[in-house]
Amino acid sequence: MSIRYSQDFKDSLVKLHQEGRSLKSLAEEFGRSIETRPESVKARQTFGHFEVDTMQSGKKRGEVLVTITERLSQQHIVRQVTGRNSQAVTPVLIRFFQGIKNAKSITVDRGREFAKYNEIEKKLGIPVYFAHPYSPEERGSNEILNRYVRRFIPKERKIETVSAKELDQINHWINARPMKTLNWQSPRKVFQQFAVFG
């Protein structure tokens, strides 16, 4: 089976060859690779580094959940949005991060819902890093905590059936649990200790 490349892609390869640039540089034009993210982020010693994902249930189209995890505190915030596309997801992320004045970075996957990453960076002044394809472990905190959400909202359940009250209860349960890695403090308590709200 042969692969048919678009003319734009072919033109980009020609341009790279003429300029003596690598294929990696092409990827950088479409967002910051997680490889360029500071190594200190992995250590979880600094507040303000977030991982973001979307969760889909019930059907391929319709409402989805946006999940936002702060790495140091393990605070996991779940928001309901109208669709799994950048038009729906981008304003939700901008609104959330405008309320956290000391947010430092956002790491996402290559999903189309994050296509407007440049708008997010411009509005917030926060770098957006992209994990490698098929590498959920690079957003490990978010992936693990999404499993807790699935206890309440299994894949076969439509997001539209989740009420705002139920979502609040899920958020509360996840973030009120004392954690050994936080010296038996809850994610919510640690998050509130460090977050500068605006």
Q: What is the pTM of this model?
A: 0.84
Structure tokens at 195: 């977050």
Instruction: Return the pLDDT at 194.
Output: 98
Which of 65, 82, 99 is closest to 174 using CA atoms? 65
CA-to-CA dists, residue 39 to 44, 85, 109, 192, angstroms: 10, 30, 18, 25
Instruction: Return the pLDDT at 55.
Output: 93
Q: What is the spatial order of strands in the sheet that 105-108 belongs to?
A: 32-33, 128-130, 105-108, 49-55, 64-70, 76-81
Which of 120, 51, 129 is closest to 87 using CA atoms? 120
Which of 25, 48, 39, 29 is closest to 99 using CA atoms? 48
Instruction: Return the pLDDT at 168.
Output: 96
Instruction: Return the pLDDT at 198.
Output: 87
Instruction: Return the pLDDT at 3.
Output: 44
Instruction: Return the pLDDT at 167.
Output: 96
Instruction: Return the pLDDT at 20.
Output: 63
CB contact set of 23 (below 8 Å; sequence gap of 6+) = 16
Neighbours of 118 (CB within 10 A): 11
DSSP secondary structure, 145-165, as one string: HHHHHHHHS-TTS-GGG--HH
CB contact set of 51 (below 8 Å; sequence gap of 6+) = 68, 69, 71, 106, 107, 108, 139, 140, 141, 142
The pLDDT profile of the chain, 198 residues, written as one tens digit per residue, is 344 545 555 565 566 566 665 555 554 457 899 999 999 898 899 999 999 999 988 666 789 999 999 999 999 999 999 999 999 999 999 999 999 999 999 999 999 999 999 999 999 999 999 999 888 888 989 999 999 999 999 988 999 999 999 999 999 999 999 999 999 999 999 999 999 998
